Structures are given as structure tokens and as C-alpha cells.
């Protein structure tokens, strides 16, 4: 019976293939993880922008009602700390419930749309009413 000493060339090739597969999987997982983390951070910043815009709208509604109820849409604006994010605000009249369907509107939804990067978008809707203070 012959004794086996060393490895055959097939065993070496198979071992290298397994190592390459493990390394490729690990690198792929790391790249995907980094991408998800970056996307999550960007959405968090967009959410913070939406929150600031809503706070400004609520403040304007409470302290400068006439200007707020002119309902001027906003297009292509940025906030100073968030230059890579572009936002717009559009208003739609609400006619449900106690809200009047005749002009001037008594209830509106403000739609805040924030864009960044490669077609990334976050939309937030906020209801405003003249009826309740």
C-alpha cells in the first residue's frame, strides 16, 4: 500500500477556490453593509430636514397666519447645513369633514418633498387647518 505524502494538485486548486469564495463573499457583504449604512444616514438627514420645515410651517401658521395662508409653493430650496438636499413644498386643499370646499381654503395638506443623490426622495405630508387653534 502506497503512503500519501503531500497534497495533490487538485486538492490545492480546490482549497484556493474555497478561500477565494469566502473572501469574495466577505468583501461583497462589507460593500453592501457600507451602502446600507450610507443610505440610512441620508434618509435620517432628509427626515431631519422635513422636521425642520414642518416646524417652520407650524411657526408661520401660528405667528404669521396671513402669510402662511397665502399657500405659496416652494421649489428647489436648500437649508444651509444640508446643501446636497433639495426640497419643495406644495399645498392641496382638503374638503373632508369640517373643512370648506369653497375658496379660500380652511384646511390644507402640505406635501414636503426632499430629493438627494441618485433619485432618492422622501415625502412627508402635514395637515393644517384654520378651524382649530
Residues with pLDDT less than 50, the chain: none
Q: What is the pLDDT of residue 8?
A: 87
Closest CA to 131 of 102, 92, 105, 93: 105
Q: What is the pLDDT of residue 109?
A: 94
Q: What is the pLDDT of residue 4?
A: 63
Q: What is the pLDDT of residue 97?
A: 78
Q: What is the pLDDT of residue 118?
A: 83
Amino acid at each position: 500500500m502506497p503512503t500519501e505524502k503531500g497534497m495533490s494538485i487538485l486538492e490545492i486548486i480546490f482549497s484556493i477556490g474555497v478561500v477565494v469564495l469566502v473572501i469574495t463573499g466577505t468583501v461583497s457583504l462589507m460593500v453592501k453593509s457600507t451602502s446600507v449604512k450610507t443610505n440610512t444616514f441620508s434618509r435620517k438627514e432628509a427626515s431631519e430636514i422635513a422636521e425642520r420645515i414642518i416646524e417652520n410651517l407650524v411657526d408661520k401658521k401660528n405667528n404669521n397666519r396671513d402669510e402662511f395662508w397665502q399657500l405659496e409653493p416652494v421649489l428647489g430650496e436648500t437649508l444651509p447645513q444640508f446643501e446636497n438636499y433639495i426640497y419643495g413644498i406644495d399645498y392641496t386643499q382638503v374638503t373632508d369633514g369640517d373643512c370648506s370646499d369653497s375658496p379660500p381654503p380652511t384646511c390644507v395638506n402640505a406635501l414636503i418633498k426632499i430629493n438627494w443623490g441618485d433619485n432618492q426622495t422622501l415625502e412627508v405630508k402635514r395637515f393644517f387647518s384654520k378651524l382649530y387653534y
